[in-house]
Structure 1
Amino acid sequence: MAKANWREIGVGLVLPLALIALWQVAANLGWVNQNVLPSPLEVVRKWIAYLLPLQERLPETSWWRWALSGELIVDSLGSMYRVLVGFAVGAGLALPLGLAMGANKHVYAWCNPLVQLLRPIPPIAYIPLSILWFGLGNPPAVFLIALGAFFPVLMNTIAGVRQVDSIYLRAARNLGANRRTMFMRVILPAAVPYILTGMRIGIGTAFIVVIVSEMIAVNSGLGFRILEAREYFWSAKIIAGMITIGLWGLAIDLAMNRLNNHLLRWHRGLES
């Protein structure tokens, strides 16, 4: 199994490494403007410089000054804090509402028109209102991220509950299960794959929204640093920030995939 995993990783690295090599060759031959698209080596150099300690950027009274002095580390932690808090708020509100709408036709009839009205509105459209309501800083960013994570979790939860196989429901009724037992032992476990898929989509959406929100309403984080680099035409730093976002997103997606596989062992077993 371990050899298969390493082989899969190796195959997945072939295309990215080939593209990086082509990019470096194009930069060395002068096919691209280094100011517009710096070489991979220049991006790596800037990424390392971005990671180095810059204690003078932090207030004297900040405890982070001694614990976390790297600009990249501080920015990454700021962005991750907003993503996790916003995702927790959005998913925490969407999950019970989705379960209620999926399990109860009356709740669905009452809430679905409003949900379908609000769902197409992108979180970015709420930026002016979020600043008016919450000011600047973390609150508007968390609000926008929560909106971005809310609807994927909600819609997948509703779909998961409403698409439970009727055979399971009839079997539970024949065995004398009451409504609470049927919901906890049949409907909820059957909906878990959908719920986890919604959470995986929601955390990806949260990453998109946090970068936009940091460019508008926050003066820290990876999105803010990319916008700052754009103002000074630091192309290498922009790409370094983008790569950092991609690495964080990859790490979280792998963690979510591991969690899915762990929680759905029974489901995988039935399929095999």
Structure 2
Amino acid sequence: MSALANTNTASLAQESRLQKIVRFWTLPVVLLVAWQAWAATLPADSPAPTPLRAAKAAVDLVLNGGLLIATVQSLGRVVVGFVCALALGVTLGLLMGSNRTIRENLDPLIESFRPIAPMALLPVAILWFGTGTPTALAIVSYAAFFPVVINTVHGVSRVDRKLVLASLTMGVPRLTILTRVILPGAATSILLGSRLAMGVAWTAIIAAELAVGSKSGGGTSGGIGQMMFVFYAYNIDMNAIVVCMVVVGIVALMIDRVFRAAERFLTPWRH
């Protein structure tokens, strides 16, 4: 009976994985077929992107190494900007969540800047930092900061104050309270804010590289965003642009999955 039960369990697990794969690929395949059907109605000399042309452009970009280099450049900037935003956002979030005076003083400032789109600050960033990497990093850090700090404040404010007071009463050092009580209690919100921030940061870097590329006339700042600008402004290669867009989406999905896995690993009590 035990062997039969194990066999049935394994069969159900395999079927479940197969169903997940089918669900994951159904919509992309349908969209691809619809796109190809629409492309078949176009004149042969139409500049509109098609699946076959985009596939050829993808092969060319992969073989010449340009797509990989540009993607790595963008990811590197995102990671650096995200780390800066994470350090500042978590620090301020812990202070604001733990101290009402600090929260009341900083909250109006943060809420005043939060609605301002990162790209609205681009002219100021270019004026201060030029059209290179520092501007892109500034835009990414700004975009990623708000999800981190807001979720950190929310997480800290939800920590049971009785636990903190009990720890203080027993003479537990404040640093220990921070690392053993407050941070574990706020971990779920901090991780959620980090995942949202990384997604926003990836979106911001693409927009920043597109804009910086237009300001610098192509320039040398690099990145997949600027690669898209070059394909549009100089080559008008719509198929290559579609390839870049697909890569942007795939990287965004991978980032989300990595952070979800990190959440499950770091907060196992939630899963």
Q: Write out aligned runs for 1:153-172 (5 A).
A: 153-165=148-160, 168-169=163-164
Shift of 1:243: 0.5
Q: Deviations over 1:104-133 (max 9, x none)?
A: 111112211111111111111110111111
2:120 partner SS: helix
Q: Tell me, in whole angstroms, the C-alpha distance in 1 between the residues paired with 2:185 and 2:232.
A: 47
Q: Tell me, in whole angstroms, the C-alpha distance in 2 between the residues paired with 1:30 and 1:167.
A: 68
- The yes-or-no answer on 1:46 pairing with 2:57 is yes
- Structure 1: give runs of 5+ residues left out of the alignment: 54-69
What TM-score, normalized by structure 2, do the two folds share? 0.85
Identity %: 32
Question: 8 Å contact 1:27–1:33 — kept in the other structure?
Answer: no
Counterpart residue type for residue 54 of structure 2: V
1:27 to 10, 20, 39: 39
Q: Write out aligned runs for 1:168-187 (5 A).
A: 168-169=163-164, 179-187=174-182
1:240 to 229, 240, 243: 243
Q: Number of residues paired by the alignment?
A: 251
Report the counterpart of residue 29 of structure 2 in structure 1.
17
Q: Tell me, in whole angstroms, the C-alpha distance in 1 between the residues paired with 2:262 and 2:44.
A: 42
Shift of 1:10: 2.4
Counterpart residue type for residue 234 of structure 1: D
Shift of 1:170: 6.6
Shift of 1:174: 7.8
What TM-score, normalized by structure 1, do the two folds share? 0.85
Question: 8 Å contact 1:94–1:151 — kept in the other structure?
Answer: yes
Shift of 1:249: 1.1
Q: Tell me, in whole angstroms, the C-alpha distance in 1 between the residues paired with 2:61 and 2:29.
A: 23
Q: Tell me, in whole angstroms, the C-alpha distance in 2 between the residues paired with 1:4 and 1:109.
A: 50
2:232 to 230, 254, 263: 230
Q: Tell me, in whole angstroms, the C-alpha distance in 1 between the residues paired with 2:252 and 2:44.
A: 28
Counterpart residue type for residue 26 of structure 1: W
Counterpart residue type for residue 233 of structure 1: I
- Structure 2: give runs of 5+ residues left out of the alignment: 1-12, 214-220
Q: Tell me, in whole angstroms, the C-alpha distance in 2 between the residues paired with 1:6 and 1:258.
A: 20
Shift of 1:8: 1.4
Change (3 A) 1:17 1:168: farther
- The yes-or-no answer on 1:256 pairing with 2:256 is no
